[in-house]
Amino acid sequence: MKIAVCTKAVPDTETRIAIAADKKNIDFAGVRFVTSPFDEFAVEEALKLKEKHGGETVVFSLGGAECTAVLQDSLARGIDSAVHINDPDFANLDTLSTAKVLAAAIKDGGYDIVLLGQQGVGGDNSQVPSMLAELLDWPQTTMVVKLEVEGNQFKAEREIEGAHEVVTGSLPAVFSAQKGLNEPRYPGIKGVMAAKRKTIEVKSAESLGLKGKVSTELCKAKLKEVLMPPERPQGRKLEGDIDTQVKELVNLLRTESHVL
């Protein structure tokens, strides 16, 4: 079984966001990059599938220098090899262009399964897995909390509003990982040492045959401006004994905020 995992390098979730001077992105100065949290579940699932069924795992990441540490992190956890897709043409791509790049890198690799996090921190789009499945012409299951594979068949459980759906289908397929799918392992010292001997292959727009076909300029969803959220009006702490405060709260929710 050959498994691809796609990971994104994102600012640590503790990061306080500031807007860049051109207002077209956030200010990345001093930001620590980590593997996007949902992608950790995808990496772990790839490792578990390999442990059970044998085969090969390859991690992909699209981006600049910030990807190196993220790819090394996946290698240290046990992924066999890594592909870094790095090209200035691919800076700040929209979801569809990102999916096109990943599809080009994955399509002829003989993969049975592609795993991604259900959403990447930052754009918060939840789009790339489904787009990638369409571009590869494979079936998909997103928001997966349980995955079983037998031969070329799969059974995946996904979280929906107030229920779990069981999806059955055939491989090859794309899956996006939701929290709850597994408990990601942490890389040990041995893993970190082993990762140093593993290769990170670098791909460009040219080598993927995408020169002039995918670029920042050609994106169809254009990020025009990044804004800070509207400031919340100053709130207040209520006063008096607990009974008085509770009465006052209910009164305010009814007569001032009109939400009760």
Partner 1 sequence: MSKGFLVFVESRGGQLRKASLEALSEAKRLAQSADVHAIIVGKDIKGLAAELAKFGPTSILIADNDLFANYSSEAYAKAVTEAVNKLGARFVLAANTSMAKDFIPRAAAKMDAACVTDVMSIKGGGDNLEVTKPMYSGKCYGVYELNSDVSFITLRPNVFALAENGGEAKSEDLSVNVEKVRAQVSEVHASEGNKVELSEATVVVAGGRGIKGPENWPVLQNLCDTLGAALGASRAVVDAGWIDHQHQVGQTGKTVSPQLYIACGISGAIQHLAGMSSSKVIVAINKDPEAPIFKHATYGIVGDVLEIVPKLAAEVKKAQG
| Residue 243 CB coordination number (10 Å) | 8
How far is 176 from 99, CA to CA, in rounded Å? 13
Q: Contacting partner 1 (CB under 8 A), which of 43, 47, 113, 128? A: 128
Q: Contacting partner 1 (CB under 8 A), which of 68, 126, 204, 215? A: 126
Pick 108 or 124: Cβ nearer partner 1:
124
Least gap, CB of 244 to partner 1 (angstroms)? 10
Scanning 55-63, 73-81, 157-165, 192-200 for contacts with partner 1 by CB under 8 A, the matching segment is: 157-165
29 binds partner 1 (CB under 8 A): no
* Residues in 136-155 at the binding interface with partner 1, rule: CB under 8 A: 138-143, 154-155
Pick 64 or 122: Cβ nearer partner 1:
122
Which tokens is 216 given?
């920042």
199 binds partner 1 (CB under 8 A): no
Length of the chain counted residue by residue: 260
Pick 29 or 227: Cβ nearer partner 1:
227
* Residues in 169-198 at the binding interface with partner 1, rule: CB under 8 A: 169-170, 173, 178-180
Torsion of Cα atoms, 91 then 94 then 97 then 99, to 10° = 110
Phi then psi for residue 162, to 5 deg, are 70, 10
Question: Considering just the CA atoms, what is the radius of gyration of the chain in Å?
Answer: 22
Is the omega angle on the peptide bond into residue 172 within 30 degrees of 0, that is, cis? yes
